Amino acid sequence: MSQNDEAESEQLSLLPGPRRRRATSRPAPKAAQTDPVARVVVDTGLAHLDRLFDYLVPADLADATRRDILRRAVEGELSVSRLAEAYPMSFAAVQKHIAVLERVGLVTKQRRGRELLVTSDRDAVDRARRALDELAEAWKGRVQRMADLLAEGN
């Protein structure tokens, strides 16, 4: 094989397996409420895919997927391509979810050789959880005091 063919094979091996398109058309999926359209770049190095795509992020997959990606990242390091195999959506869509988790500081990507690993920033996850827990406790107290004040009457 020529060098180019080898390089392309390596890159193609990162893609999840081919999906068969069903002959019957399906209704358009309900889009996610926030960020319904992800403008993505497909990271395969194939020239004809080297442009921006608009991907419709399905509502039922959006949040559950991010939580699942976070769970996997907390359990152990995973390459972006291995993560992508786990979800019934395009590689680019998985990258978009990872990007959201990165933006809020819950995961980081680290290059190891040719692979991109998604790791959880445990400290950030713990801090986030603790901060939200504490805010929740503060509000439980506030709502009780509001109810007490209302009961006092005017």
Tell the smallest beta-carbon distance from residue 146 to another protein (Å): 5
Residue 41 is inside which H or E element, if any?
A: strand 37-41
| Ramachandran region, residue 31 (left: φ > 0; alpha: ψ -120 to 50; beta: rest) | beta
Q: Which residues bind another protein (CB under 8 A)?
A: 34, 63, 66-67, 70, 100-101, 104-106, 124-125, 127-150, 154
Nearer to another protein, 10 or 134 (CB): 134
Instruction: Output the DSSP codes for 68-108.
Output: HHHHHHHHS-EEHHHHHHTSSS-HHHHHHHHHHHHHTTSEE
Under 8 Å between Cβ of 44 and 11:
yes
Tell the smallest beta-carbon distance from residue 68 to another protein (Å): 11
Nearer to another protein, 37 or 131 (CB): 131
Instruction: Output the DSSP codes for 10-38.
Output: HHHHTSPPP-PPPSS--PPPPBPSSS-EE
Tell the smallest beta-carbon distance from residue 86 to another protein (Å): 17
Nearer to another protein, 14 or 101 (CB): 101
Nearer to another protein, 12 or 132 (CB): 132
Tell the smallest beta-carbon distance from residue 84 to another protein (Å): 18
